[in-house]
Amino acid sequence: MLNDRQVEEFQRTGALFFPGLFSRQEVAVLQRAAEETASRPGPNVTPEMATDSVRMVHGSHREHDVFANLCRHPRLVGPAEQLLGEGIYVHQSRLNYNAGMGSGGFDWHQDFATWHTVDGLPEPRALMMTVFLDDVTPANGPLLYIPGSHRHGVIDDFEPVRDRNGNVLMRLAERRLRVLVEDGGIAAGLGPAGSALIMHCNVVHGSTPNISPNRRALYYVNVNAVSNRQRTFKRAEYHAGTDFTPLQPVADDALLRLAA
């Protein structure tokens, strides 16, 4: 249960950080599952722009027990239901690598800009919940975000850019970025593997390429309020999930039970 201070912080900044939410043992289970899903070729696996290393894997909660359980984990579902005020379902999951040695990086954008315009989610009543699968430091391409930027609503000042799979990312125009950063600054999601960062879906975020030799993997559980389900159905299931059944939390030790 989030306390009043946490709820107020989320409303003000659009972000809440939970250091070490998952244990080292649970992280080991998640890391193994990440390697398994990233090694299965498929249309849901996106390579980096300049190399063939894996950039993203979408929708692995639909094909791997570990991520199915992570998405239903009470340590994520509880805060998300409290913040959104009702039952939630998975709109999208993604494993994002920032593999090191110069790979990775995402331009500044809002996820809800795509979820609203492409998937037809009516209201910004959705969250990105990022679980760190590696230690994240200033040096290995952390997730960067602009605190308070969610309060500007959907910003219609974006330029579309495409990755190698044709996924469209709406890049924020420079003039708007400057204004937002003057207002809120830039924060980085830093912490040990197992930490989690919950963000409002309108928070402007991105990351730089990782020029360190150390991998930075994040798993995003992106959830939407059940009453806010999508209205248009243009994208694959692994981009925009259509199982609107409210998530039922699993047992707290569900990940450990899946340790081989």
Stretch that binds ligand AKG, among 20-28, 90-98, 155-163, 175-183 (CB under 6 A): 90-98
Stretch that binds ligand AKG, among 5-13, 14-22, 38-46, 92-100 (CB under 6 A): 92-100
With residue 178 as reference, give the H or E element that holds it: helix 174-184
Q: How many residues bind ligand AKG (CB under 6 A)?
A: 10
* SS3 (DSSP) at 206: strand
- Rounded to a whole number of angstroms, the minimum distance from the CB of residue 54 to ligand AKG is 12
First vs last Cα of the chain: how many Å apart? 31
Site for ligand AKG in 102-141 (CB under 6 A): 106, 111
Residue selected from 58, 116, 125, 205 as contacting ligand AKG according to rule CB under 6 A: 205
| Residue 79 is a binding residue for ligand AKG (CB under 6 A) | no
CB–CB of 178/146 below 8 Å?
A: no
Site for ligand AKG in 153-172 (CB under 6 A): none
Residue selected from 170, 218, 221, 258 as contacting ligand AKG according to rule CB under 6 A: 218
Stretch that binds ligand AKG, among 16-24, 91-99, 194-202, 233-241 (CB under 6 A): 91-99
207 DSSP β-pair partners: 106
Stretch that binds ligand AKG, among 41-49, 62-70, 177-185, 203-211 (CB under 6 A): 203-211
- Rounded to a whole number of angstroms, the minimum distance from the CB of residue 227 to ligand AKG is 24
Cβ proximity to ligand AKG, 26 vs 134, nearer residue: 134
Give 211-259 as a 3 state SS string: CCCCCEEEEEEEEEEHHHCCCCCCCCCCCCCCCCCCCCCCCCCHHHHCC
CA distances from 250 to 8, 58, 156 (A): 27, 22, 38
169-88-187 Cα angle (round to 5): 45
CA distances from 27 to 7, 96, 137, 193, 205 (A): 26, 15, 17, 7, 24
Site for ligand AKG in 21-60 (CB under 6 A): none
- Residues engaged in binding ligand AKG (CB under 6 A): 94, 96, 98, 106, 111, 143, 205-207, 218
